[in-house]
Amino acid sequence: MQPLAQPVSNLIEAFSRLPGIGPKSASRLAYFLLRADESIALSLAQALTELKATTLFCSICHNIADRDPCAICTNTERNQTVICVVEEPLDVQAIERTREFHGLYHVLHGAISPVAGVGPDDLKIGELLRRIQQAQPPVQELVLATNPNLEGEATAMYIARLVKPLGIRVTRLARGLPMGGDLEYADEVTLGRALTGRSEM
């Protein structure tokens, strides 16, 4: 069997490191780019370069942004007294698509998972507490929008226990979302109803 050219082999290996991309998918992508117009490969390379060079994490909400603070945190038309806590940046996009939420966000970058070795100190929970304590105007409501699975529930319960003594209203998304699902895959209607019908914890 003839060995692959090294650049092709390198690209297949690079693609296979991405989540959800197995060896066959990695090979298909590599051969597509090899046969495709040069402009497609170059635009992909440029997009990847720009992604790493110009994106950062907002120092306030920890969402992906192209400036610090991000556009949501600096938008004075948003409700500054309500913070929605999510696990990942993709969850912010999912909630924004509903057009039902007009407050601010806080991205934890994960969920508590003892099995995976992720504890509260590995998440942006300390930053959330400091943010609440220093907020002007004061935060009145914390919407816990972690995923409806065991890790998401454990994270929500942990945060609720920390925040309730501060006298802030703590709510959880309504059960319009299926257990075991991820926010990024929920449709706009389901996610919108879950936001509208959020309940006290």
Task: Give the pLDDT confidence of 107-137 residue by residue, as tens digits.
Answer: 999 999 999 999 999 999 999 999 999 999 9
Taken as a whole, the chain contains a residue count of 201
- Of 192, 199, 196, whose CA–CA distance to 95 is shortest? 192
Q: Record the pTM.
A: 0.78
d(CA 26, CA 9): 10
Asked if residue 47 and residue 68 are part of one domain, the reply reads no
Q: What is the mean pLDDT of the chain?
A: 92
Q: What percent of the chain has pLDDT over 70?
A: 97
12 close to 4: Cβ distance less than 8 angstroms: yes
Asked if residue 175 and residue 123 are part of one domain, the reply reads yes
Q: Residue 143 sits in which domain range?
A: 64-200
Q: Quick one: average pLDDT of 71-82?
A: 97
Using one digit for the tens of pLDDT, what is the confidence trace for 42-57? 999 999 999 989 999 9
d(CA 5, CA 31): 12
Token pair, residue 65, equals 């942004």
Q: Per DSSP, what are the bridge partners of residue 57?
A: 64
Indicate which CATH number applies to the domain containing 45. Answer: 1.10.8.420
d(CA 6, CA 50): 25
